Each structure stands twice: as structure tokens, then as C-alpha cells.
Amino acid sequence: MREDNMANLINENLKKKAALVLDGAMATELEKRGVHTDNALWSATALISNPEAVKAVHKSYFEAGADIAITDTYQANVNGFEQAGYSEGQSEKLITEAVRLARAARDEFYFELPADQRANRAPYPIVAGSVGPYGAYLADGSEYTGDYLLTTTEFQEFHAPRMELMAKAGVDMFAFETQPNFDEAKALASMMKTRFPNMFAWLSFSVSDPEHLCDGTPLAEAVAYFNGNPQISAIGVNCTSMNNIEATIKTIAPNTDKPIIVYPNNGDIYDPKTKTWEPNPQAATFADLTPKWLAAGAKIIGGCCRTTPGDIEQVADAVNAKNLS
């Protein structure tokens, strides 16, 4: 593991692998372990009620073939914990704990991995600090619409405390994920230079279709805007239908020379108003679609809502096949 935060670990790893494998859903796996996530804190509830379950989920994804773990901080921020009745100090400790759990799972797995099994693994497995959008904090489904308006300073002051805690706790990079609002994404990226000059982040948009962010911004325009930012190490989309991914990659690819990251949902249908999922027995599998995404240009592939270690194992198998070809 590299402890030098100046290192762009995505590029370092892609020197050794044709593509990287990202982990999958946290909340889905926590629910299987008895954690109730149907509240404003969502999967971050487990940091309070069952932190060992968080570690176990992280480890299950590494065992399935993941090269990258995302911390359980998507909906974990000081404001949200305080609204749930926790003090500022307690809130900060919970965010720090999320990083510790991910790092512990990563280190335990990789340090125990036999040398002959390392060939298909990333040489520098990554712990990425999840930075969900302001809409996730609102817990009203607006991460799927981008329908909120803050100034650049307000966005930055909201996100900075969580990011500072995660950086101090040792994340390798940030994951700006499920970003539906172009102005918020710009605020996050500009803050990297001023407050986190030695860190990198990937930027993953929430999209309404393969050509538009949820707030209506053309995806091509948004991707091109961030292509020149040296601290953004990958650009892509997450938390969208698997059926959107190939077309979305084709929208992104002409507008960036950065690695493209995609991690869709598992094919089930989500209702943001009721916060429930409807199973979709007709959905394709990751085994079916990952080779197509790789062929289209994706360099980092994982899963978002409702995905499992089994799904990530399918991604890893496809990536390993490409590494050998």
C-alpha cells in the first residue's frame, strides 16, 4: 500500500491492470446482516449500531475481487449525525471510524493474500472516501434530480468537514459520487486545489439519461469541463440503470482522456419517493455486460445500489479475462 497522497493511485494501478474492479453496494449487504437502513442516515447507521458489519462487507468485496473500497460515508456527515442527536465530537469519530474500518478490511485481506494470488490484483489497493452529494443529506431523493441550489461557498463548507476528517484518517483519495448538480461538482473540484492540494478524487455523476446530468447539464459538457483538472483522476457515472452504461461511456469517451469509471445499480427499479426497490427479473447480469463496457472504454467498473459480492465477482472475472487477453 502506498501512503503518499501525492500518488494518483488509479493511474499507478492501471499501469499493471487493463481495468480496475470497484466494490458494490454497502446498504444491501448491511441489511442482510440485520442493520436497518430505512432512515435518514441510511447505511451510515451501521457505523453506530454495528461497525463490524461494515468491515465485514468491505472484506467480502475484496474477497470477490475488488481493487477499490468506498468508505461508508456517502450519507455520513457531521450535519446529518448532529440532526440524529449526536454531538459534533461523536459525529467526527463516526466518520473517522468509517475510514478505519475500510482500511482494516483492506489491510487484513491483502496482507493475508498468498503471493501467487496477487497477479490479478491491483498493486496498490485503494480506499476511497465517499463524498455523496448535498442531496443525499437532504434525504428527499434530490440526488436523483439535482434540484437544490447553494452557493459555491455553501457547498464547500458543507463538504469540507467530512473530507478533512477522511483525509486525516487516511483515505487514499476521494470519491465524489452520485453527483447530480453541475455547480456542486464544480465546487468540490475547485476545493481540491485550495484545501486538499495533495489529494486526488474521482468524479461520478448522477444522470437522467446517457446524455444529461440529473440537473439537465449536458454530460459531454460536464465531462469536458473537468478533463483538465489534474486532481480529478477518473470521470464517470454511478447509480443508474445497467442499460444506460454503454451509451453513457460513448458520451463520456470523446470528451476526456481520463479513465472512465462506471458503477450502475443491479437492474432493480428504485422509487425515490417511497425509497423502495422493485425486483427486475429481466435485468441483464454483470457477466453479460461488463465485457461490453470494457470494449466501450471503461477502466474502472463496480456496482452501486442492490449489487452484491456475487456481482463484483462477475466483474472481476471479466476484467481478469481482459488482463490475460
Report whether 304 belongs to an annotated binding site.
yes
d(CA 207, CA 214): 5
Q: Are 234 and 201 in contact (CB under 8 A)?
A: no
Q: How far is Cα 209 from Cα 214, in angstroms, rounded to an integer? A: 8
305 annotated ligand-binding residue: yes
Residue partners of 5: CB distance under 8 A and separation at least 6: 167, 172, 173, 198, 199, 200
The residue whose grid cell reads 454483470 is 286
Q: Cα Rg for the chain, rounded, in angstroms?
A: 18
214 is in an annotated binding site: no
Is residue 283 classed exposed, middle or buried when 0-12, 13-18 and 19+ CB atoms within 10 A define those classes? middle
Pairing between β-strand 276-278 and β-strand 269-271 as defined by DSSP bridges = antiparallel
Q: Residue 170: exposed, middle, or buried by beta-carbon count in 10 A (0-12, 13-18, 19+)? A: middle
Each residue of 103-129: b (16+ CB within 10 Å) or e? bebbeebbeeeeeeeeebbbebbbbbb
How is residue 217 annotated by DSSP? -
Q: How far apart are CA 52 and CA 214, in angstroms?
A: 35
Sign of CA dihedral 185, 187, 192, 195: negative
- Residue set of the binding site: 239, 304-305
- Residue set of the binding site for Zn(2+): 239, 304-305
